[in-house]
A and B are shown apart, each in its own frame.
Chain A
Amino acid sequence: MSKKRFTLPNWAAYLINAALFAAFIIGGNAVLSSGALPSFITKVAMLIGIQVIAAVSLNISTGYLGQLPLGHAGFMAVGAYASAIFMTRTGIPAQLAFPLGIVIGAAVAGLFGVLIGIPALRLKGDYLAIITLGFGEIIRVVLLNIDSVLGFKLTNGAAGLQGIPKTTTFVNAWLMVGLTCFLIHTFMKSRHGRAVLSIRENEIAAESCGINITYYKTLAFSLSAAFAGAAGALYAGYLGILNPSNFGFMKSIEILVMVVLGGMGSMAGSIVAAIVLTAAPEALRAFDDYRMIVYSLLLIATMIFKPSGLLGRYDFSMKRIIEKCVNGELFASFRRGRGKGAEEA
């Protein structure tokens, strides 16, 4: 203890993380485009990216804010339709319309998050779950029927919104994953993120510490919705055709399962669970019929054996790992038994 611990400067940590991420994108792209793997692997990789964004964004309101919304797919639908309508209706070339579409999808979904969050967040626990479930369904039903009821030619109802340019690629999907994780991480490690955590921990104490809980609940909720909207926009560019049935209640549950399984409040957990739960059914094609059974069994097993999720509230930090390596204490926590709680990243 007498020797001064080595700490990695922040700029170096950011640089290392950025370099590793860039290596992952470039390497992944090189492998996928080399033709060594079957082409559906690329599709799966994109889908995984989209699911990761959805799971990580739900983790804001579930893991960090401590609420249980059940309408996350609704926000994805809003983002997907907003960006798809923007891309198909404006004459802007797809290469430019796509990034704009993601921003628009995120913004519109974020707005919906505010609108739904203000009434919904007055409630707690199961009441909030039911009200968000209702909102998620309303969004889906509105998308299904708005054309025939109001005579628009916007969503094309059950026939599906067709002709969306398939602009999602491995690179832009995963760049978006990186951006999402970065923004959520930097948000959480700030006074705003701590305010959100304090609401999860103890609302009354948070209030008496001068934290405007209504503001921060709504902020976290709409941030969660906005990133879900971005995931939806990528999903639109991935599918090329949108149908309201893509965003049903089961989709919300699917995302929630990822978050709960990975560990509520752990971004790394959400990412791992999203990867596993998206890749596994694809890898076990023949197993696909039993997917929901496996889901349920997985959930039951996790809740029995590790109620806090696979990673609990542990969050991966390259900085911490490097520091531990240099200080020669990488496995110290294993030797001591259980390690200490998650530190600052």
Chain B
Amino acid sequence: MKRDKFDILESTCVPLPLENVDTDQIIPARFLSSTSRAGFGENLFRDWRFDKSGNRNNDFVLNNPSFKGEVLVAGKNFGCGSSREHAVWAISDYGFRAVVSSFFADIFRNNALNNGLLPVVVPENYLNYLLDKIGREPETRVKIDLEKQSFSVLPDGEPVRFEINPYKKECLLKGLDDVDYLLNIKEMITAYEFRNTLKR
């Protein structure tokens, strides 16, 4: 199935200088009863954005009008905990297209890549610099170039290279998904099953 392509993104950023942000914070379990992929953005970071009575918590960055954009910049080990893909759906549905951190939890990273949300890994000291800069200058714009695997602060910041495996990069650039790939090699899969039956 065709998905949105990802090539170059230029945007302001939303800073979230917290470490170990788990998927229960991104989307609490009580909002997981839906059977569709849509509408999770409404409850993104629900318990940090709103208090118990449903009032906006003005201290939380998503409620601060100075910060907006399609890039979320967060502390290390982002997306740890539950495997719920709803976390990625919530972040995308809210309007983010990339998340920057110094490392991501494995399952979250896979889920993000499978949904066209780009996880950008930068060195920890660069992340700290970035969080600090955005915090002080909310109008800071950044550029993510997937083809070149480069991240930079506009207009003239030194580009930082980020890693992504070539297969996933290709999928994102062309808007392809893994199911299509696997359906195309079904004969190999059947042959593998046959070989295994013979072995036993």
Task: Answer yes or no: do A and B interact.
Answer: no
B residues contacting A by CB (< 8 A) are none
A residues contacting B by CB (< 8 A) are none
